[in-house]
Every structure is written in structure tokens, then in C-alpha cells.
Amino acid sequence: MTQPEEHQTPKQQPASTVKVDLSPDDQDWEEELDAGEPTHSNCRCGECCRHLLVEVALEDAEREPKIKDAEPIYLPPELTTTGQRELVGYLLNDIKEDGHACRFLNQTTNLCSIYETRPWVCRVFDCDGEGKEQLIELGYRPKGGRGR
């Protein structure tokens, strides 16, 4: 997840044009997730979903088909071996007048509507550790407090 600039429309972000190979350790961890290993956080502020860009992989859309209704992210033709643009993922943020939160965030309860099948990037975001510190540094969470 990355932070959008205020003037920037988060469509076809440069970061989404690079495929990242998972290291063997990451692959083992992802297999544990697919096997049903529970992952959760004590944080329920929703600020990561409300303020950060949520770009997800095609594998996430296979696990949760509702993701396929989100904004597609394509690799440009000049970066592909076929010379054709290639679908590489989805952007889950909905651009509205009141913000750009993840389409699956219930803004009233701050809960994820697809929590059980949420994307890998959401599963690994550490809301109680480094992720919390990043949100504080960006001004989205108060120091020592919870969310809004």
C-alpha cells in the first residue's frame, strides 16, 4: 500500500507496473494463509484502508472474486513480452468526493466486508507495529491513540 498525493488520481500507479517475485520465505507464509492460518490485528481504526492506495494481485482476485469489479491495473505494452498490455492486478480504492477509501471498507464500522478473503497486502500490513508508525508519520493516526 502506498500513499497517494493529494493532487494525484490513483489510476495506473507506476509501482503497480513492477512484478515482484516472492522469496521462498514469503511463499511459505502465503501458503500458510491459503491454508487458513488466521491473521488479525487488534487495530480497527480503518485508517490504512481509508488513506493508503490498496493495489492487489491477480491471485487475490482468484481468492475473492468481488475484487474483479475494482479498477484494473495493466502493465503497459512496452513492458510486456507480447507487446500487449497485461492485467497485473486491481486498485481497490474508490475515488469519491469524500475520499478514496478501499471499496471494501465499511466506513461506519471500520470493518472489512471481505475480511475472510482479504488481499495478501492487507493480511501483511502491520496495523499494530510498523504500519501504525507509518500512519502516525503521515498524520493519519494520532500518537498513542486509536484511529480517528
Reading the chain (148 residues) residue by residue, the pLDDT tens digits are 544 444 333 333 333 333 334 444 445 545 555 554 445 567 788 888 998 999 999 999 999 999 999 999 999 999 999 999 999 999 999 987 668 999 999 989 989 999 999 999 998 888 777 888 888 888 888 876 554 4
Q: What is the three-class DSSP state of 67? A: helix
* Residue 95 region by backbone torsions, left for phi larger than 0, else alpha for psi between -120 and 50, else beta: beta
Torsion angle, alpha carbons of 138, 144, 146, 148, to 10: -50
Return the pLDDT at 133.
83
Return the pLDDT at 18.
34
* CA-to-CA separations, 100 to 6, 80, 85, 93, in angstroms, rounded: 10, 29, 26, 5
Q: How many helices (H) and strands (E) does the chain have?
A: 5, 5
Return the pLDDT at 8.
39
User: Rounded to 5 degrees, what are φ and ψ at 83?
Assistant: 80, 5
pTM value? 0.68
